[in-house]
Amino acid sequence: MVRVRGYFIYIIIVFLMLGGSFLNFQKAFAAGEYMSWGIGAMGLDKAISAIEQKGDAEHLLVAVIDTGVNEAVFHEYFPDRNLTGYCIATCESGMVDNQGQGTHIISTIAEGTSDNVDLLMIRVTDLGTFTVTDLINAINYAVSQGADVINISAGNIFDFDDETYNEEYDMTWGEIYRLVWEIEKEVIDEAVDAGAIIVGSIGDNDNDNIRYPASYERVIGVGATNEDLSLTNFSNFNEFVDYVAPGARIEGLNARYGAEGQEMTILNQGTSMAAAHVTAAVADILSFNKDLSFEQVVELLNSKAIDLGETGKDDYFGNGFIDFSEAEFCVGGVECDEYGVFALIPDEPDDEQEIPVPDTAGDDETIGAPNTGALTKQGVSSATATLLTGWPVYILVGVGLWWARKSSR
């Protein structure tokens, strides 16, 4: 009986020691239900759960202006999602995605949103390039269909200083670029005024080139991060970066699926993939209130953005990494914010007594965390604190193991 009791206690102690690792494994396994690691990293899975719990989520339309979509693989993976398509130019082959980007991006948006979101693929290219006219026509079509969010993972760089003379238009190329910029901006503004939130990729050249439409004032420009939330080695950087999102090693649907030897999913990377994640985040917010303005959506995104890099907005990370993981949404009878999206967290009492911090640093030292320069999500440090304060527990566990072995002899 003593031997049995000793082994029983031994098993309990081992379980307590490994329980945390077991739970972490379970969490990692659960995250595997999504193709993109970004769904969990941004807390889009939590937003989806809240939307489904809400039950009467707003019906939305997200338009994706891109290279087309493999409708067969999309419907096989997302059988319950409503997907429609429209061709702007070069559409002899219908919605076939010869480039692969459109299929990959729209699958991420579908994965990061609930079934209340319908998807519209507007195909503007067959070979990966398209004209500004095609882009403008695509934006206008999206607005005509009532799009609530428009994803544009492409763009142009305008050299306003180009003094080369163009005889056909009787002006310099710089003047032509300025004219095109103004026309495109007017279309963007009209779309936003009509109620569409536009999200664009900031570019993949690892430089400070300014690309439009992502860099227009009323477009959300998105850069890309790695899984550790460091900036990727391809993401552009400039004053028009608004946010960063997962953009490296993103798994999504493969446009070539169906051909011999092709898998259903494929890895891809780029600020285009990052923009798709932010498009999903915007749609999740609008699922609670589709009447929000561009400025109000930005305000809500800022409230859930983790500041990375330099303190405050910077050219590399913008306002930070959008993360709904710790957010409490407006469901379950809670008091809600003025926009009806997030739960209202009451202010702490003004008369709360501040706990003094003892001065143990000495004359030549200051109390505070070292500046490691690491780019991590807020809250990661709590895991370190738990580890350090857990040493007494490990000592007790060690004594318990010794006692269990002794009892079993």
- What is the per-residue pLDDT across 321-341, written as a single tens digit (0 to 9) for each? 999 999 999 998 899 999 999
**Closest C-alpha to 104, from 41, 38, 165, 60:** 38
Provide the pLDDT confidence category of residue 189 given band limits of 50, 70 and 90.
Answer: very high
Angle, in degrees to the nearest 10, between helices 391-407 and 381-389: 40
With a cut of 50, say whether residue 353 has pLDDT above it: no
**Closest C-alpha to 62, from 188, 152, 148:** 148
With a cut of 50, say whether residue 292 has pLDDT above it: yes
CATH level 2 (architecture), domain 41-322: 3-Layer(aba) Sandwich (3.40)
* Residue-level pLDDT at 272: 97
Query: How many helices (H) does the chain have, and how many strands (E)?
Result: 11, 13
Backbone conformation region of residue 340, classed left if phi is above 0, alpha if psi is from -120 to 50, else beta: left
Backbone conformation region of residue 131, classed left if phi is above 0, alpha if psi is from -120 to 50, else beta: beta
* Residue-level pLDDT at 12: 43
With a cut of 50, say whether residue 154 has pLDDT above it: yes
Q: Which of 54-58, 288-292, 302-306, 386-390 has the lowest mean pLDDT?
A: 386-390
Q: Which of 96-100, 214-218, 248-252, 296-300 has the lowest mean pLDDT?
A: 96-100
Rounded to an integer, what is the distance from CA 243 to the centroid of its chain? 9
Averaged pLDDT of the chain? 81
Provide the pLDDT confidence category of residue 373 given band limits of 50, 70 and 90.
Answer: very low
Angle at 112 between CA 90 and CA 55, to 5 degrees: 115
For 66-100, write each residue's pLDDT tens digit: 999 999 999 999 999 999 999 997 677 678 898 99
* Residue-level pLDDT at 23: 33
Amino acid at 234: F
Can you give the residue ranges of every domain in the chain? 41-322
Q: Is the dihedral of CA 283, 285, 288, 294 positive or negative?
A: negative
Let me know: does 269 contact 289? Beta carbons within 8 Å: no
With a cut of 60, say whether residue 152 has pLDDT above it: yes
The 8-class DSSP code of residue 61 comes to E
With a cut of 90, say whether residue 18 has pLDDT above it: no
pLDDT, average across residues 362-383: 27
* Residue-level pLDDT at 333: 85
Q: What is the pTM of this model?
A: 0.78
Integer Cα distance of 269 and 195 in angstroms: 30
Q: Which of 65-69, 236-240, 349-353 has the lowest mean pLDDT?
A: 349-353
With a cut of 60, say whether residue 62 has pLDDT above it: yes
Pseudo-torsion of CA 392, 393, 396, 397, nearest 10°? Answer: -140
With a cut of 70, say whether residue 162 has pLDDT above it: yes
Let me know: does 35 contact 265? Beta carbons within 8 Å: yes
Tokens at 343, concatenated: 């739960």
pLDDT, average across residues 214-238: 97
Let me know: does 185 contact 178? Beta carbons within 8 Å: no
Integer Cα distance of 82 and 369 in angstroms: 50
Provide the pLDDT confidence category of residue 58 given band limits of 50, 70 and 90.
Answer: confident
Integer Cα distance of 307 and 232 in angstroms: 16
Integer Cα distance of 45 and 32 in angstroms: 12
pLDDT, average across residues 200-207: 95
With a cut of 70, say whether residue 7 has pLDDT above it: no
Integer Cα distance of 108 and 190 in angstroms: 27
Listed in sequence order, the DSSP H helices in 32-131 are 38-41, 44-54, 71-77, 101-111
**Closest C-alpha to 209, from 179, 188, 234, 177:** 234
Q: Which of 110-124, 152-166, 185-199 has the lowest mean pLDDT?
A: 152-166
Integer Cα distance of 46 and 42 in angstroms: 9
Residues forming a β-bridge with 225: 231, 246
**Closest C-alpha to 330, from 343, 318, 339:** 343
| Phi, psi values for residue 15, rounded to 5° | -60, -40
Residues forming a β-bridge with 245: 224
* Residue-level pLDDT at 405: 52
pLDDT, average across residues 365-381: 26
**Closest C-alpha to 322, from 212, 209, 195, 220:** 220
